[in-house]
Structure 1
Amino acid sequence: MSSENAGVLSRIPGLAYIGLVLTPLFWAGNAVVARGTVENIPPLSMSFWRWVIALAILLPFGLPGIWRHRQVIRQRFGSMLALATFSVGAFNTLLYLAATTTTATNIALINATIPIFVALLAWILLGDRTRPIQALGIALAITGIVTVIARGDLSVLTNLQAQPGDLIMVAAVFSWGLFSVLLRRQAVPLPALTFLTTQILLGTLVVLPFYLTDLLFFSGGFELSQSTAMPLLYFAIFPGILAYGFWNHGVHKIGPARAAIFMYLTPVFASVLAGIFLAESLGLFHVIGGALILAGLVLATQTRKHTHYPTPERSAKGDPHD
């Protein structure tokens, strides 16, 4: 998009807010569509082809920047590979694996705790100061996660009956937390589009051997048809590229602290979409767990107004102000 067109768009009243509402809607759709199509498209195929399509769309725009900044990329290759592994490579792959054995609602609720995991890992690994109100928020959010995983029944935990997908989704969120902490420690001085394109390229290469192993020895891949091609296009375009653009524009216009509030819409949208398209029903444990997670997020983030939390669908996109 030209700078002139971008300038025109940036002057449209309310565009940032519209984009910030659409972004969690697209993220929620990522979980719902994955849950609805995971029986037709294996998770590793879903992850690999999502990024191949996104890369094919972005490469014509991002390749010139990669060439211009090739020296920086070469010097910081190790850092960029690690960032791509935890974000592009691991996060969505684990999310799609989780979709095989848990609901879209659970995925979205656990996914909403990303700021909590970022704050917790920043405290553990970077020594960030955690205030008492933030510690309370972290504790409430973790209690909410446990409530969702246990489905409101403690015997689920004591008898080790938790859904594997819930635990895999916790691993996905943990992976994104590691990416976020590494992004702060190993900041790479690249423009946003160049950083994004490089990360998707490296992340796709990370997923490739796992995809080929699954294709040759386990799942056998999938049959390409309209019913399988459309979800892959959705994954690449809406929760990937468009959500990234909307999110970064919103952060630039209203700031990261106010934009972060819109993340809380993701589980709301997911529960509605899952009810409509997947016939998933909300249980009391969803309500209680969701309320604890929301309260924890509010407490844990309200005193961190200047902290910028990378979100999952930014997929290693870097700071929008680069």
Structure 2
Amino acid sequence: MSHAQCLPAEAPATPDTSRASLRIGILAALMTVAMWTTWTVGSRFAMQGAQPLSPALLAVIRFGTSALLLAPWWWRCGLIPRGVPKLALLGLMFGGLPYQFLVLWGLRYAPASEAGPLLAGTLPLFIGLLSLLVQGEKLSGVRIAGIVLITLGALAITGTGLLRFADGHWRGHLLVLAAAFSWSIYTVAFRRSGLSGVQAAAFVGLWSVLLLAPFALLPALEGMAQMPAGVLLKHVLIQGIMAGVVALITFTTAVRYLGPSRTSAITALTPVAVTLVAMLLLGEAPGLPELAGCLLITSGVVLASGVLRRRARLA
């Protein structure tokens, strides 16, 4: 394997506030919302369908596809990219297997209608705290208010499921909270690494496959051989291409242009998107708590993303 230096992307120390960069960041964040919505719904069906798939099988599909598609990047960078802080590389690993398994195991215990809002709704909180502690990023009162509204909206959509201990959903809730914290570590580590979104996705995909191979590769290959071609291609598209490659690239692009806190605020629209998908495709009618939660999240995103502050400066 080549050991040529993996040149980091030139990311500014602070998010670029130009109009063009702001548009690129918001577009990338909204694309991430679309990817995450599809992945959350698809994973839930895969885990609880007529023939449920194991988390290890889904992980091999996700990261195996990512490692194959992004082979030119990790081949050039090597196993350990030079010029990148080791702690940042370690932090990037939290966006791979830890996040994948925590979310999938959480979906085994808690329904997507509870796990999705809890995951997306607590991300801005965790990322805001880590950005404050690690990077010294200052959060204005408006952005803090936005984060609070997003968290309250997520809790409203989750509803009383958080309080029902008899059905075991609390196990899923704890796993999802751990997944949100794991992704927050990845987000802050990406900013410190200086890598591009493609380089970070290639690094995560390669190391996830290497760690999975001794334990799950052969059983996963046997499971994929028994799957119908159409089903396998569907999971390769959702788990591998969309979640393993495209979502990582769009998310890290948004972080580069908007910063971790504002990016996580916009991606908090994911539970709102899931609710709309359920209404349009599944005919599900959300109740008053779900509608109130969507309104709170949307309001919180407007505040925490800094859109109003940007427009005030332009005015």
Matching residue of 2:3: none
* Aligned equivalents of 1:41, 1:21: Cα separation in 2: 29
CA deviation profile, 1:15-72 (whole Å, cap 9, x unmatched) = 998776544222210001101111321123212321011111110x214531598543
Q: Point out where structure 2 has 5 or more consecutive residues left out of the alignment.
A: 1-22, 311-315
- Residue 104 of structure 1 pairs with residue 112 of structure 2: yes
Report SS of the residue matched to 1:282.
coil
Name which of structure 1's ranges 189-198 and 234-243 shifts more when overlaid on structure 2. 189-198
Superposition TM-score, scaled by structure 1 size: 0.68
Counterparts in 2 of 1:3-22, with a 5 A limit?
Answer: 21-22=30-31
Residue 108 of structure 1 and its aligned partner are, at CA, apart by: 3.2
CA deviation profile, 1:61-118 (whole Å, cap 9, x unmatched) = 2145315985436xx44541x2233111212222222222333333432333322320
Report SS of the residue matched to 1:38.
helix
Matching residue of 2:76: 65
Residue 270 of structure 1 and its aligned partner are, at CA, apart by: 1.8
- Residue 90 of structure 1 pairs with residue 102 of structure 2: no
Out of 173, 177, 188, which is 1:170 matched to?
A: 177
Matching residue of 1:285: 289
The answer to whether the 8 Å contact 2:118/2:155 transfers is no
Q: Point out where structure 1 has 5 or more consecutive residues left out of the alignment.
A: 1-13, 307-322
Alignment: residue pair count: 280
The answer to whether the 8 Å contact 1:98/1:169 transfers is yes
- Residue 256 of structure 1 pairs with residue 258 of structure 2: yes
Name which of structure 1's ranges 230-239 and 271-280 shifts more when overlaid on structure 2. 271-280
Identity across aligned pairs (percent)?
21
CA deviation profile, 1:262-312 (whole Å, cap 9, x unmatched) = 635432332233456667653333223333333333333328989xxxxxx
Report SS of the residue matched to 1:298.
helix
Report SS of the residue matched to 1:267.
helix
Q: Residues 147, 46 of structure 1: CA spacing in aligned structure 2 closer, same or farther, 3 A cutoff?
A: same
Counterparts in 2 of 1:229-248, with a 5 A limit?
Answer: 229-245=233-249
* Aligned equivalents of 1:17, 1:165: Cα separation in 2: 30
Residue 171 of structure 1 and its aligned partner are, at CA, apart by: 1.6
* Aligned equivalents of 2:59, 2:151: Cα separation in 1: 27
Matching residue of 1:45: 57
Report SS of the residue matched to 1:112.
helix
Out of 124, 142, 145, which is 1:115 matched to?
A: 124
Matching residue of 2:20: none
Q: Residues 137, 247 of structure 1: CA spacing in aligned structure 2 closer, same or farther, 3 A cutoff?
A: closer
Name which of structure 1's ranges 35-44 and 266-275 shifts more when overlaid on structure 2. 266-275
Q: Residues 106, 278 of structure 1: CA spacing in aligned structure 2 closer, same or farther, 3 A cutoff?
A: farther
Counterparts in 2 of 1:168-317, with a 5 A limit?
Answer: 168-184=175-191, 187-208=192-213, 211=216, 223-225=226-228, 226-245=230-249, 255-256=257-258, 263-275=267-279, 282-302=286-306
The answer to whether the 8 Å contact 2:61/2:235 transfers is no
The answer to whether the 8 Å contact 1:41/1:228 transfers is no
* Aligned equivalents of 2:108, 2:162: Cα separation in 1: 23
The answer to whether the 8 Å contact 1:83/1:199 transfers is no
Residue 238 of structure 1 and its aligned partner are, at CA, apart by: 2.0
Match of 2:292, as an amino acid?
I
The answer to whether the 8 Å contact 1:32/1:274 transfers is no
* Aligned equivalents of 1:16, 1:147: Cα separation in 2: 28
